[in-house]
Structure 1
Amino acid sequence: MQKILTSLMTLSVSAVLLSACGGNSNQAPAGDKPAEGSAPAAANQTVPSKIVIGLDDNFPPMGFRDDKNELVGFDIDMAKAAAKHMGVEVEFKPIDWAAKESELKSKRVDLLWNGLTITEERKQNILFSNPYMENHQIIVVSAGSPIKVKTDLNGKIVGVQDGSSAIPAVEADAVSKSFKEMKKYGDNVTALMDLSTKRIDAVVVDEVVGRYYVAKKPTEYVVLEDNFGTEEYGVGMRKEDQALHDKLQGALVAMKADGTSAKIANQWFGKDIIK
């Protein structure tokens, strides 16, 4: 009788233990729950050990070739510092800037980092980092030019870089309809050379580029007070590369926090212009 009672008690305890362990059969194990705030799109992605950055190598001071034909510039230094923070190798690849989205989509480059303006149109095809600096589309004219304000561009030939954000910025302004011609160039350097020889009357260009050249030749060029608006620069990548975006954004935040980006900005612009 004692043995029977002992067996019954053992079975009862086992049943209670099994019930407690089983719980709700539909409940997922704790380890399967997604982390709060996680980005599902990047969950299964990995950041490549090497990233290729597409740039216009004739866009000083953002990215250009020095006297030794080496790639230098503000964005070059920023990209190198970011790659170091990310623990990846970086390669810089000069591209036709007018075809930058095709270069990115075809995976010939992984990032576009060269004074790339964030626009709503570009957001349709490009995933952007947060803006890291602000810029204006300024108007540069020759010293002694009668052009003093935007409306003086009526009947004039205005130069812009093909594929640049200067084009939609100018076209969005009603004054552009009064131009004799908006002439497109492969790069800003050639446009400014034509301005010097009076083949054109003005150049609309990114402020960082325009002021860089004006500072080199202060008696040759003048920057007008008027401009064609404010814009923001960001780093562009493919829409599906969320993991790369997150890693890069973390590096940019870290560089701002530890003073790296401010140091680079001071070297190129004489002040911290990082947003």
Structure 2
Amino acid sequence: MKKRLGLGLLLLCLVMAALAGCSGSANKNGDAIVIGIDDKFAPMGFRDEKNEIVGFDIDYARAAAEKMGKEVTFQPIDWSSKESELNSGRIDLIWNGYTITDERKEKVLFTKPYLENSQVALTLAESPITTLAELEGKEIGLQALSSAADALAASPLHEKVNTSEFKDNVLALTDLKTKRLDAVIIDEVVARYYMSKEEGTFKLLDESLAPEQYGIGVKKGNEALLDELQKALDELNADGTAAEISTKWFGEDKVLK
């Protein structure tokens, strides 16, 4: 009887341990934080030639985590389900060129905006298209469930173009280069990065679809983490660290104060 009782207690302990390990919070202790990213979103967060995750947001997040006294892990996620990943507890923050919108404010808490951006149309350099109006009847690509999709949906152009959605910008740009698309609606910071990396391949149309700002998403109800993070970001601005990171990736200080 004692052996059976002991075995039962052991099994119970194992079950309890397993349940604890499957709890729905990414941040299982106060010294670690999990950040959800799109790892194909250069120059904000992407994989380099060594398959290491790098980028402006990556450096910025690491610096903020250091201020907060936390370890940081970057978790590539399906960007179309980013809010679900946050609200389920699988990640603690959405931090990778995450545009602040009224719709998203209903789902998550946001830090103060830290970077200006806009949605633009990118075409091949050889394309005769020079204005947004000339995209009428053309094949347009964009990342699914992105602010590019929101910007196009809010534009009069929406009903005048043929739209294809892609999992990420890299796939959309690949179709543009092979001329299956006439243009890609994309974040300006991303467009300028690829223009610098592939000189002479792309060009931007002069007009933009929508100005916007990037912020960091925190799960609703977690005001303590939001306040702690915002304090760290303010300190990075004050001590010049944010400006150094921006200059590294953009050649100038673009971080909002």
- In structure 2, the residue matched to 1:240 is 221
User: Aligned to 1:68, which of 32, 50, 58?
Assistant: 50
Q: Which runs of 5+ in 1 are unaligned?
A: 1-46
- Structure with higher Rg: it is 1
Q: How does 1:74-89 map to 2 (within 5 A)?
A: 74-89=56-71
Task: Establish whether residue 144 from structure 1 lines up as the match of residue 126 from structure 2.
Answer: yes
Count, aligned residues = 229
Distance 1:59 1:220 in 2: 18
- In structure 1, the residue matched to 2:116 is 134
Q: CA shift at 1:224, angstroms?
A: 0.9
Q: CA shift at 1:177, angstroms?
A: 1.1
Q: How does 1:51-130 map to 2 (within 5 A)?
A: 51-130=33-112
2:34 partner letter: V
Distance 2:58 2:154 in 1: 31
Please provide the CA RMSD for this pair. 1.1
2:146 partner letter: S
Alpha-carbon displacement from aligned partner over 1:167-190 (angstroms, at most 9, x marks no partner): 0111101112111x1110111011
1:56 partner letter: D
Distance 2:206 2:70 in 1: 42
- In structure 1, the residue matched to 2:17 is none
Q: Which is richer in strand? A: 2
Task: Establish whether residue 190 from structure 1 lines up as the match of residue 171 from structure 2.
Answer: yes
- In structure 2, the residue matched to 1:250 is 231
Q: CA shift at 1:241, angstroms?
A: 0.6
- In structure 2, the residue matched to 1:19 is none
Q: How does 1:262-273 map to 2 (within 5 A)?
A: 262-273=243-254
2:189 partner letter: V
Alpha-carbon displacement from aligned partner over 1:38-59 (angstroms, at most 9, x marks no partner): xxxxxxxxx8211100000011
Q: CA shift at 1:218, angstroms?
A: 2.2
- In structure 2, the residue matched to 1:231 is 212
2:115 partner letter: M
Task: Establish whether residue 274 from structure 1 lines up as the match of residue 255 from structure 2.
Answer: yes
Distance 1:142 1:70 in 2: 29
Alpha-carbon displacement from aligned partner over 1:69-100 (angstroms, at most 9, x marks no partner): 11100000000000000111111100000000
Q: Which runs of 5+ in 2 are unaligned?
A: 1-28
**SS state at 1:138 partner:** strand
**SS state at 2:96 partner:** coil
Structure 1 runs of 4+ off > 3 angstroms?
Answer: none
1:236 partner letter: G
